[in-house]
């Protein structure tokens, strides 16, 4: 009787992340520099595939505005609008943590477009901080800190959108539009 071969090892989750011309697999130490390079290129926003949860912890303690798709209320239009507006006004990243949920383009588009039709396209397409696109989400009730003259070009240029997921299987619509960063 022939002994059974051991089962093959499970695939490395990092190998499930799509490899594209705009992707990188990095260690946690390189995360800040990689995010800066992506921001300076102004071509794509970052989608961070965080297989260890260490990058999410790292981002949580940085100066940014953070929303969680899995927290009740975080995708409400007023919360999305204020988080985005604050990130633009003060030159911070807006981090949207999707946890281990499947990435859903329609869900995210719906959350942002409920604030302003076309807002999702402006955010992932890197045009929210161009021209007067950002002014379209300012409301009179936002107060003096959010009047047009309170925004500086320096802070608008420092804005970055970072989408975080623990799920290694990134749908094609995200892989085609974001710069994929995998940390393990």
pLDDT at 9: 76
Residue 137: predicted pLDDT: 96
Both tokens of residue 77?
């239009």
- Residue 4 pLDDT level (bands cut at 50, 70, 90): confident
Burial 55-84 (b: 16+ CB within 10 A, else e): bbebbeeeebbbbbbeeeebbeeeebbbbb
pLDDT of residue 12: 76
pLDDT value, residue 13: 75
**Percent of the residues in the chain that have a pLDDT greater than 90, as a whole number:** 76
Q: How many CB atoms lie within 10 A of CB 33?
A: 10
Q: What is the dihedral of CA 76, 82, 84, 90, to 10 degrees?
A: -160
Who's near 5: CB < 8 A, 6+ residues apart?
none
Separation of alpha carbons 85 and 71, rounded Å = 20
- Taking only the tens place, the pLDDT of each residue in 109-158 is 999 999 999 999 999 999 999 988 999 999 999 988 899 999 999 999 99
- CA atoms 55, 60, 62, 64: torsion sign: positive
For the chain, what is the largest distance between any 2 Cα atoms, rounded to a whole number of angstroms? 82
């Amino acid at each position: 009787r022939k002994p059974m071969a051991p089962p093959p090892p499970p695939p490395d989750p990092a190998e499930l992340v799509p490899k594209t011309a705009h992707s990188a697999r990095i260690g946690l130490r390189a995360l800040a520099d990689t995010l800066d390079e992506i921001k300076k290129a102004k071509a794509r926003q970052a989608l961070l595939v965080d297989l260890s949860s260490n990058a999410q912890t790292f981002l949580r303690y940085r100066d940014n505005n953070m929303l969680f798709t899995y927290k009740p209320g975080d995708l409400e239009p007023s919360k999305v609008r204020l988080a985005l507006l604050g990130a633009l006004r003060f030159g911070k990243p807006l981090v949207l943590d999707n946890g281990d949920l499947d990435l859903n383009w329609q869900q995210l588009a719906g959350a942002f477009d409920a604030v302003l039709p076309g807002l999702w396209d402006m955010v992932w397409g890197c045009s929210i901080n161009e021209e007067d696109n950002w002014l379209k989400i300012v409301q009179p009730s936002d107060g003096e800190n959010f009047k047009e003259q309170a925004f500086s070009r320096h802070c608008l240029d420092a804005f970055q959108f970072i989408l975080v997921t623990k799920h290694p299987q990134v749908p094609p619509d995200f892989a085609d539009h974001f710069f994929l960063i995998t940390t393990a």
